[in-house]
A and B are shown apart, each in its own frame.
Chain A
Amino acid sequence: MSILIDKNTRVIVQGITGKAGSFHAAQMRAYGTQVVGGVTPGRVGSQWEGLPIFDGVAEAVAETGATATCIFVPAASADAILEAVDAGLPLIVVITEGIPIQDMLRVKTWLKRGPTPKGQTLEGLTPPVIVGPNGPGVITPGQAKIGIMPGYIHKPGPVGVISRSGTLTYEAVWQLTKLGLGQSTCVGIGGDPLPGTGFVEVLRAFENDPETKAVVLIGEIGGTAEEDAAAFIKKQMSKPVVAFVAGATAPPEKRMGHAGAVIAQGQGTHASKVQALKAAGVSVAENPAVIGRTLARMLEKLQVQV
């Protein structure tokens, strides 16, 4: 089992004719993901590698039976997310980097107000589940990937991975794979200040997923997502969690690449996050090179069979 996606997930790609969209749509397909079509306004009737291209998401869903979308459109088009919401897609993965925070604020406010979604929930999460923006996407190793992560570094197994960073997730996953610790699902929630889905929701889904035995959480400076995650773990998680928080050496008031990675007005420091996670019983790796080993040791100590 896994969370959010598996081999039956049918995916459309918004922005499939763009450079990134077309390269990664091909990579997703090569990994085994069921890519069933694409959306590029104005290009209806044409094809991408034998797949139909549609003008809009609603039409694409009606024709292909898609259950998820992967968005590669430019940052000025937060509307693409709402289009996918309107079309009733339960899973919306947003790769786009650079969406203005106020645009995302309107998207999130609209979501809170929209009609109650019909259909089943995704491991306890209420659809539509928006993953990202500004993240690598979601992968269930051996089954499907929706996003831009290199497939070969993953391996099916019992570890759930959740992260605010793309390449740092690859780093952690690669360490796990080399130690023989496979992953149930890896979710990149993205580096923006207002992510579509936060740590807490994904942690809840991992807690509900019987195949996930342990979780690796990768955070970074800025905001209070790690503190919120710690509060949830303390109260509601029974599964072991290992964490790493990037940015111990980051200076205050400087934006460290990600729009959300900034220590502002004394909030969002590395120390505060590590302290909160430790207090919640999370095993925090101080060194990014030993995230995998920290998990292996913890599993051994707890005698968790993987």
Chain B
Amino acid sequence: MRFLEHQAKKLLSSWGIPIPRSGLLTRPSQLSSAVRKAGGYPVVLKVQVYAGGRGKAGGIVKVADLSKARAAAKELLGKRLVTAQTGPEGVPVKSLLAEQGLTILKEFYVSVLIDRSRQVPIVVAAREGGIAIEELAKEHPEEILTTPFDPFLGLLSHQSRRIVTWLRIQAEHREAAAKQLLKLAKGFFLTDASLVEVNPWALTKEQGMLALDAKVTVDDNALFRYPELERIKTADADTPSEAKSRQIGISYVGLSGSIGCMVNGAGLAMATMDLIKLNGGEPANFLDVGGGADVNQVREAFKLIVADRKVKAILVNIFGGIMKCDVIAQGILSAAKSMKIKVPLVVRLEGTNVEIGRKMLEDSKLGFITASDMDEAAKKVVKAACR
């Protein structure tokens, strides 16, 4: 689960890491009160969206007085912001963070995450901040320091001191900076995070070292430990379909093509998309119903695809293991009862209870195209979508 900048900063602040003073606004009329919370002008207005690349896209503006602030707030709120990470359709700007305008002396980068290959938690620190870390890693890897640490002991004090020394943070700010690193690493475990990133981590004239921007991602599999997050787990969905899929409890990612897919298993679902593309089609979505889905979940998942207006044909590709083919058939038939399926449907079933599943579909009056293997299924659905 992702968080918006202001939510992530609130988390950091609760761990004891300094952040700039700020106020949030969702309407231009809230501007004055937000600026007051930020400590008055100048302020920086920052759009609150999940995508990165906000600065370059004009989503972050420094304003010195009320008239300029009002004009900027009016322009930004409600518009669709297109950044390098959003795709051409952009994302709607629903809120702005008005933040204390600070004099930045130097910017750094720091993050805590798990190194999958070495299977240890690491702190990644860079001498340059405010940039994309993957770009820096390519061009100046010598400017990045990776510090593995022990998950039981946590980041050790001497490790934090070594990092800030390496970063060449001014001597009088090192102690405070090292303490912030320890708190960041602790917070990573406190929230079951998969990523905590402060970029830039800045040295300011007014307040010393603080988190100027922050990104926190909490492991979806750990949300059960945080009931307050579990309740809002649909909040960070990019589209209504993705929000709906999370309520249903299936994995769904919306894409731009015309062929809807319902598959069991993440690998097979990705491979099915790849195969559609190889055959000249474009997938409309990734959808993994998973192994443990019941008839209701399958029905709701299928309805989600049928309701997508981009979809010109649907491919159901199931290789039953934990998932039984008859459950899939029942879910499809149940969906077909409650809504009209106007597009061609191609079905390929294999695996556990395949005979029962096939028979249920054949006995129904639902018109559909069968395929005996994955290749044939992909070819047939691409052809059907082109009609």
Contacts and interface: CB of A to CB of B under 8 A. Distances in A.
B267 A100 contact: no
Interface stretch (B34-42, B273-281, B300-308, B331-339): B273-281
A287 interface: yes
Interface stretch (A48-56, A59-67, A250-258, A275-283): A250-258
Contacts of B192: 100, 102
B251 A255 contact: yes
A249 B270 contact: yes
B96 interface: no
A244 B278 CA distance: 14
Contacts of B272: 288
A167 interface: yes
Nearest to A147: B321
Contact of B134 (A248, A257, A267): A267
A95 B265 CA distance: 13
Nearest to A220: B267
A288 B219 contact: no
Nearest to A260: B116
B117 interface: yes
A105 B374 CA distance: 36
A232 interface: no
B373 interface: yes
Interface string A172-203: 00100000000000000001011000000000
Nearest to A261: B266
Given A105-B151, A253-B85, A266-B134, A191 B319 contact: no
8 contacts: A97-B291, A100-B219, A102-B189, A106-B152, A109-B120, A109-B151, A171-B374, A249-B277
A170 B351 contact: yes
B151 A102 contact: yes
B121 A223 contact: no
A127 interface: no
A170 B321 contact: yes
A20 B114 CA distance: 31
A105 B265 contact: no
The DSSP consensus for interface residues of chain A is: loop
Contact of A287 (B119, B150, B275, B288): B275
B234 interface: no
Interface in B88-110: none
A153 B321 CA distance: 11
Contacts of A290: 375
Given A166-B267, A257-B266, A261-B270, 12 more contacts: A100-B222, A101-B222, A136-B321, A165-B267, A166-B265, A167-B319, A174-B319, A193-B114, A261-B267, A266-B134, A287-B274, A287-B375
Nearest to B323: A167
Contact of B255 (A251, A259, A260): A251
A292 to B, nearest CB: 10
Interface in A281-300: 286-290
A100 B117 contact: no
The DSSP consensus for interface residues of chain B is: mixed
Interface of A: 20, 24, 75-76, 95, 97-103, 105-106, 108-109, 136, 148-150, 153, 163-171, 174, 191, 193-194, 218, 220-221, 223-225, 228, 244, 246-251, 253-261, 264-267, 286-290
A256 B269 contact: yes
Given A106-B152, A150-B351, A174-B350, A100 B271 contact: no
The contact size tier of chain B is 35 or more
B343 interface: no
**When A and B form their complex, which 9 residue pairs have the shortest distance between CB atoms, in order from nearest?**
A165-B267, A257-B266, A167-B265, A168-B267, A289-B375, A257-B288, A100-B222, A288-B271, A266-B134
A173 to B, nearest CB: 10
Nearest to B282: A249
Contact of B221 (A101, A163, A164, A289): A101
Given A76-B224, A171-B319, A288 B253 contact: no
Contacts of A265: 133-134
Contacts of A218: 267
Contacts of A224: 116-117
B241 interface: no
B268 A249 contact: no
A204 B222 CA distance: 33
B267 A102 contact: no
A108 B268 CA distance: 28
Contacts of A167: 263-265, 267-268, 318-319, 321, 351
Contacts of B230: none
A100 to B, nearest CB: 4
A276 B24 CA distance: 47
B380 to A, nearest CB: 13
Contacts of A105: 114, 119-121, 151
Given A105-B151, A109-B150, A136-B321, A258 B117 contact: no
B271 A244 contact: yes
Given A148-B322, A165-B265, A254 B253 contact: yes
A109 to B, nearest CB: 5
A24 B323 CA distance: 11
